[in-house]
Structure 1
Amino acid sequence: MTTLHESTSFDAIIGGGSVSGLFAAREMASKGMKVLVLEEDHEIGTPEHCGGVVSQKGLEALGIIPRIKTFDNEIRQAIIKTKNNSIEVNAVNQKVIVIDRRSFDKEIAFQAQSHGAEINTNSLIVGIAYEDNWFKVKIKGGTIYKSKYFVDARGVGTLVNKGLRNIIPSGQYEVYAPWIEKDTIEVIFDAERYPGFFAWIIPTGEGKGKIGVAGKSINPNFLLESFLKTRGRPYSIIRKIYAPIWIAGYVRPFYNGKNVRVGDAAGQTKPTTAGGIYTGGMGGIYAGRAIALSLSEGEETSYLSHYEQKWLSKFGKEFDRLLFLRRILERLDNKSFDKIFSEISTKTLDVISDTADFDFHSFSLRQFLDTRTTLNLLSAIMGNEYRKIIKDLSKI
């Protein structure tokens, strides 16, 4: 049976209780808007398929102070490996932390609710129609809600439904093992096993962490089991999560009429790492503020352009650089990775350790490539694209 909630119409409905969706809800509710969040899962913050790595500076920009419940761990160094080489980068100056995404998302939900937003879980959206200047959003079970604006924060699934490519499989296990170092992130490049991406270990404490893999056309379960075997027992797998990730950068336009996309649904995840807590979170904040302004000005949709303009002004150039660096990453084989890593000097590592910005890491990645041997290697690999490589590298 279908039930239309005429008496509970909203200024805005957010599809998806993700980081970006909840930040949008917080911003709109704080401006006095009547807001409803519809989350398909039974609990905010699940499934926890994100690595949860973010800078303290990024959290502050999002208006979040890490609490004991949301703070898992502090990262002091990163070990980056290829088949036959490895480097260590001091991460102390970057002030990188690992957060508990389940608790973190609930903290944002609490902020949104405190400002008046309504949040419903176990509410899968099965249909959206726009009629007579109202969105009619139908959830599983037949209930229909009405709103003036709709915010799509339903993640990568939105891009899949649009038929877009550049989505790759990933898997992440929560693991207890004595060989997980509390303050050290590991990144492993292996073009044969993880083509176009990498494997990772993100510690959440002493002897526990998140171990994941991603890559084009891979079997995440097989590769994760294989990876764990190479590390050796003892270890225990506490949780398994599989999810597609988007690696092709932002997808414009961010809005169409009063239908606004944020976070993963707008491609606001880094093309190199697929991280999006900060970039997607700011997308939600900018969108929420723009929608509130639009509503206050008689639902004038031109104000929604403020959202796209602000996000692109802050992240657009960085994402363009990261997309360029991704093109290089996808062309490297294991021999090339080894060669590049063997050419990285102690001085370069010191520069990266002292000046790196976790939230804008294209400069650090450029340092890895800025050697004569590496540039000659890229010339051999990429042929006619080489001149453009030199030109683009000079802009980073």
Structure 2
Amino acid sequence: MKDVIVIGAGPSGSFAAHRLAKAGFSVDLLEEHREVGKPVECTGLVSQRVLQYVRTKSIAGTVRGANIFFPSGKSLHIEKEDRTIVLFRDSFDKDVAAMAIGSGSNIRINARAISVKEHDDHVTVRFRENGNLKEEDARIAVGADGINSIVRRDVYGLRQKHVVSTLQYDMASRIEDEDSVNVYLGSKYTHGFFGWAVPGGDIIRVGTGSYRSSARQYMDNLSVRFGENRVLAITGAGIPIRMAEFLNTRRTVLVGDAGGIVKPLSGGGIYTGIFSSDVASKYISEALEDDRPEKILRKYDREIRSTIGKELKKDAIVQSIYSRISDRSFDRIYNMISSEKIIDVINRSGDIDYPSTVIIKVLIRNPGILYSMWK
């Protein structure tokens, strides 16, 4: 029997496997696809914080600012001192998985989990590896298997209720401002979320998200801004933007997207996922040495909610309001935040991992923004 089975070799799962194997535990890491990092379903924008956890050379570039386009066609530019990193996401995933292997994890490719059953003293995972049905027991299982988590389904009985549908194209085109990301607001390009274009030289990543509806109709409107017949690749995924009601059971934990530990305003999940795995691995290590594992694993749930969870909760409140803003209200908000003073506040306080700080500061300086959202 293994000490731990980690289901999912994305950044969250691989980092958990790395930490646990490094602590001396036997770890199996199951990856459903034939190649770690594929398919790519992410823009790959992360803060410098991620590099504090992961050794990687998979950096495609950096950006410093964002050009935000409003429904009226007007735009404003924001930027900050710390550069945001643009990753080659598939290579990044492989780097984290390599850390897990280097620490002693046993990775199993093309191994799709089919069912997970929790018992009093172990967890049984049934999976299909290279077409062969197999079964393995472990003392603890980590659900790092994304939005369609088998662990969450079978053990927790929880459904993802708040989901953003995303669609992204790799396009043979360029962005005029190569040092900034473009962000598109309004009903032409999104429903309750935003569209984006991330620079990358001759190939850019163009995408949009739609809250509780399909992104496809909006993607058609956005992609034509960058030329016709220029699409090189198409990817899409659902993003959960609310944390699960609970993140542990007697012998399992949920990390990353499987637990809804994702930024509600941007859909970003790399930093939050790795953060959750770092915390989870600490308590899993303790639980494996204790005869009451559920009591120890409950500390993981509490710590997540008292740290990154506080930010995600505030962001979720903002997202629920933001998703209902009309085009006219967006344009009124533009008029209220385009002053030099407000932009300076955004530039100084903006943080892609903790956006509530700048939102609160802007609202304190101009509380009329709240009224404009419904006017």
Counterpart CA distance in 1 for 2:296 and 2:249 is 12
1:220 Cα deviation after fit: 2.8
CA distance in 1, matches of 2:105, 2:56: 22
Match of 1:147 among 133, 138, 147: 138
> Are residues 217 and 302 of structure 1, via their aligned partners in 2, closer, same or farther at CA, if it must alter by over 3 Å?
closer
| Mapped partners of 2:362, 2:184: distance in 1 | 15
Amino acid at match of 1:318: E
Partner of 1:271: 264
Residue deviations 1:46-75 (CA, integer Å, cap 9, x gap): 111011111113321xx22442xx101111
Deviations 1:309-341 (Å, cap 9, x if unpaired)? 322222122112111211220221000000001
2:366 corresponding residue in structure 1: 371
Tell me, in whole angstroms, the C-alpha distance in 2 between the residues paired with 1:321 and 1:179: 32
For residues 12-36 of structure 1, what are the alpha-carbon distances to aligned partners after superposition, in whole Å with 9 as ceiling and x for unaligned? 1011111111111111101100000
Q: Check conservation: 1:73, 1:182, Cα contact below 8 A.
A: no
Gaps of 5+ in 1: 1-8, 382-396
| Structure 2 match to 1:52 | 44
Instruction: Please state how far the C-alpha of 1:232 moved relative to its aligned partner.
Output: 2.8
Residue of structure 2 in register with 1:18 after alignment: 10
CA distance in structure 2 between the aligned counterparts of 1:316 and 1:129, rounded to whole angstroms: 27
Give the residue type in structure 1 aligned to 2:67.
I
Residue 238 of structure 1 corresponds to which residue in structure 2? 232
Cα distance in 1 between the residues matched to 2:361 and 2:332: 15
Counterpart mapping for 1:62-77 below 5 A: 63-67=53-57, 70-77=58-65
Residue 165 of structure 1 aligns to a residue whose secondary structure is: coil
Pick which of 160-169 and 253-262 moved more.
160-169
Q: Does 1:315 align with 2:308?
A: yes
1:1-396 equivalence runs, <5 A: 9-60=1-52, 63-67=53-57, 70-84=58-72, 85-91=74-80, 93-131=81-119, 133-140=121-128, 141-158=132-149, 162-179=158-175, 181-191=177-187, 193-203=189-199, 205-233=200-228, 236-247=230-241, 249-298=242-291, 300-344=293-337, 345-369=339-363, 370-378=365-373, 380-381=374-375
Q: Please tell me whether the aligned partners of residues 174 and 204 of structure 2 are also in contact (alpha carbons under 8 angstroms).
A: no
- Give how far 1:185 is off: 0.4
| Cα distance change, pair 377–223 in 1 and its aligned pair in 2 (3 A) | closer
Counterparts of 1:236 and 1:123 in 2: how far apart (Å)? 35
When you count helix as a share of all residues, which structure comes out higher?
A: 1
How far apart in 2 are the matches of 1:377 and 1:337? 8
In 1, Cα distance between equivalents of 2:320 and 2:211: 14
Stretch of structure 1 that moved more, 315-324 or 173-182: 173-182
Q: For residues 141-193 of structure 1, what are the alpha-carbon distances to aligned partners after superposition, in whole Å with 9 as ceiling and x for unaligned?
A: 21111111111111111367733321131111112203364321011111354
AA aligned to 2:246 is P
Instruction: Structure 2 unaligned segments of length 5 or more: list them.
Output: none
Distance 1:112 1:29 in 2: 7
Output the aligned Cα RMSD: 2.0
For 2:257 and 2:276, the matched residues in 1 are separated by 10
**Maintained 8 Å contact 1:12/1:35:** yes
Return the offset for 1:355: 2.6
Would the alpha carbon gap of residues 243 and 162 (structure 1) be closer, same or farther in structure 2, given more than 3 Å must change? Answer: same
Q: Specify the code of the residue in structure 2 equivalent to 1:59.
A: L
Query: In the alignment, residue 203 of structure 2 is paired with which amino acid?
Result: K
The question of whether the paired residues in 1 share the 8 Å contact of 2:35 and 2:109 is answered with: yes
Matches of 1:254 and 1:14, distance apart in 2: 15
Q: Cα 1:175–1:181, aligned 2, differ >3 Å: closer, same or farther?
A: farther
Deviation of 1:132 (Å): 5.9
CA–CA distance in 2 between the matches of 1:163 and 1:314? 24
Q: Give the match's secondary structure for 1:256.
A: coil
What's the CA shift for 1:133?
2.0
Secondary structure of the 1:96 match is strand
Structure 1 CA distance for aligned equivalents of residues 349 and 194 of structure 2: 24
**Higher alpha-carbon deviation: 205-214 or 276-285:** 205-214
The residue type paired with residue 105 of structure 1 is D
